[in-house]
Chains A and B, each alone.
Chain A
Amino acid sequence: MESLLLGLGLSVLSAKVLNAIIIGVIILLVFVTIGGILTWVERRVSGFIQSRLGPNRVGPQGVLQWVADGVKLIFKEDLIPDGSDRILFRIAPYFCLIGVFCTLVVMPWGTGVIVADLNVGLFYFISITSLVVIGVLMAGWSSNNKWSLLGGMRAAAQIVSYEIPVGMGLLVPILIAGTLSMQGIVGAQGWLPWDWMLFKSPFTVISFIIFFIGSLAEANRIPFDLPEAESELVSGYCTEYSGFRYAVFFLSEWANLFVMGGLTTVVYLGGGNLPGIVADNAILSVVVFGIKTSVVVFVVMWIRWTLPRFRIDQLMKLSWKYLLPGAFLAFFGQAIYMLLTWEYQKVQYAVAVVVFVLFLGVLLKFIKRVAVNIKEQKLPVNSPNAPLA
């Protein structure tokens, strides 16, 4: 892109700036679309989980539902509450948006497909997502509404206290890969499942679980969505927002979902790695990354419609009393394990394969359980063959 612009005869500085602007706009547009489509996917998936159809009227199978929602939100009246802090109220949504979209700079969509491979990529990622806390606090405070303030405070407490398990959960792959650069972490994994960070040792499995639960809390997803639970605080910190400002919050939440899925794929699931024969194919790499991210996003949605919501004290207890000690255990355990097996690469490989096989065993048990449940659910209610209680 830059060379193209230079070829047009622009100066080096303006070519760089124009290049940055164009790529930024392209990525922003693509991710707004993906955020919108994710709302549709969530509504259909949640519908099927609840034995009902989701929206299927607007466009074939309802795919244009998010466009209709966006148009509706744009047309709504832009209210700023009386007595609110006008400046903070206006800029709060954009902090959340920036916090989410700036992470896309370091996301490796495939091997070699990355906007900027910073050598502190992962550190940059975690720091930028902290801007969301500021946005949430500003929104809660400037709404001039007791319950929004409460929602904002709770959200800030939740996000801040779950940053620690997320950070510790990311430390283990950093230990293994030896670099903070996102491309480096992807490169330290392979395409086979037992080459992924997830299965490299029992300690990485523990840290993956901790990281995953922590990132659910970071994204304000159920079971951690107390700040925006409808029954609790109407809409929590975004109660007073309407129209386009609400659309910005809404959008940043859905894009955050995708970004968290992307981070999980890159750090733990070997995002974008391909077998040796097609190793250089950028498009295939992006497709593999997309598939893995979609699976993670589906699991996040699935969890949303399975689990009830945590209370604020249960949330805090989980983070500080369960996830943090678990994260320490995983970190020290992995460090000691790596120290002991530093010379014996074969042992590490064998352990990875064993962990993967154990995971397959658990998956098989799960699938059996799902089959039993399907049979139970297909029986008509009140039929004589339904199991008693």
Chain B
Amino acid sequence: MGGYFQNIKDGFQSVFEGMSVTLASMFVRPVTVQYPEVDISTNETISRNYKSTLMGMPPNYRGILNVDLNLCTACGLCQKACPIECIVIDNVKCDKTGLTDKDGVAVKNRFTQKEALKTRASTRFDINMGKCMFCGLCVIACPTTAIKHTNKFEFNQSSLEELVLRFVSDEERSKAEARANEIDEEAARKKAEKAKKEEKAKEGEVE
């Protein structure tokens, strides 16, 4: 019999408490982030407007890959590291140059700590984002941090072919190939000159 009235009392108390909790949540700002209209690529907009532990995209998010060709030595290490073989690199000879980043500081090879030298130029640097699994092994392998993940994840295209990112444009490719041909010709010419000189020297010796 005591349980009967205790039940009634418990019923009223629990409904009272429950309803106060739900009414309280009506006065707290909703945590919905209306995504395309709110900029979520950094923490800035979100932490300003939403006073809770909501964050934007983290800075080390593994998004679409980007290659900075000014830092790339066309070494092909990322191609070898990729488990899916979605990176394809073709390279030709080029002039030996040092690399500088955008502040003008010389770039060092991350693993050997020596100055990074560019001896090959890439004529083709294609990454098939349709196959890429965003594991980040290519980023780890690159000695000059030329290939990196960006923050970007919105990348739908209208066809599968458009998912392949081609980082070397046609003009750059023809320029590199032309320069490579020039280098080859020069090397061949030098070799021919050297051979001629040697022959002359040999003739002179015999005489």
Contacts and interface: CB of A to CB of B under 8 A. Distances in A.
Interface residues of A, number: 27
B157 interface: no
A3 interface: no
B8 A382 contact: no
Interface string B17-59: 1111111111110111010000000000000000111000000
Contacts of A303: 15, 19
A50 B32 CA distance: 10
Contact of A302 (B7, B22, B52): B22
A291 interface: no
Contacts of B34: 53
Interface in A340-389: 366, 369-371, 373-374, 376-378, 380-383
A47 interface: yes
A48 interface: yes
B111 interface: no
A52 B52 contact: no
A269 to B, nearest CB: 18
A222 to B, nearest CB: 12
Nearest to B26: A48
A306 interface: yes
A180 B32 CA distance: 49
Interface of A is mostly: helix
Given A48-B25, A48-B26, A306-B19, A322 B8 contact: yes
Given A380-B53, A382-B53, A47 B30 contact: yes
Contact of B28 (A305, A307, A369, A378): A378
B155 interface: no
Contact of A52 (B8, B20, B27, B31): B31
Contacts of A370: 20, 23-24, 27
A355 to B, nearest CB: 16
B15 A307 contact: yes
A197 B20 CA distance: 25
A380 B51 contact: yes
A307 B18 contact: yes
Contacts of B32: 52-53
Nearest to A322: B8
Contacts of B8: 322
B109 to A, nearest CB: 42
B31 A366 contact: no
A381 B52 CA distance: 7
A302 B19 contact: yes
A238 B18 CA distance: 30
Contacts of A50: 25
A53 B30 contact: yes
Given A307-B15, A377-B28, A49 B53 contact: no
Contacts of B28: 51, 374, 377-378
Contacts of B7: 322
Contacts of B17: 369
B15 to A, nearest CB: 7
Nearest to A308: B18
Interface in A48-66: 48-53
A317 to B, nearest CB: 10
Contact of A51 (B16, B20, B23, B31): B31
A324 to B, nearest CB: 13
Given A47-B30, A53-B34, A303-B19, A373 B53 contact: no
30 contacts: A47-B30, A48-B25, A49-B26, A50-B25, A51-B28, A51-B31, A52-B30, A53-B32, A53-B34, A303-B19, A305-B22, A306-B15, A306-B18, A306-B19, A306-B22, A307-B15, A322-B8, A369-B17, A370-B24, A370-B27, A373-B21, A373-B23, A373-B24, A373-B25, A374-B27, A374-B28, A377-B28, A380-B51, A381-B52, A381-B53
Interface of B: 7-8, 15-28, 30-32, 34, 51-53
Interface of A: 45, 47-53, 302-303, 305-307, 322, 366, 369-371, 373-374, 376-378, 380-383
- Listed from nearest, the 8 A-B pairs whose CB atoms lie closest are A373-B24, A369-B20, A380-B52, A374-B24, A306-B18, A306-B22, A53-B32, A370-B20
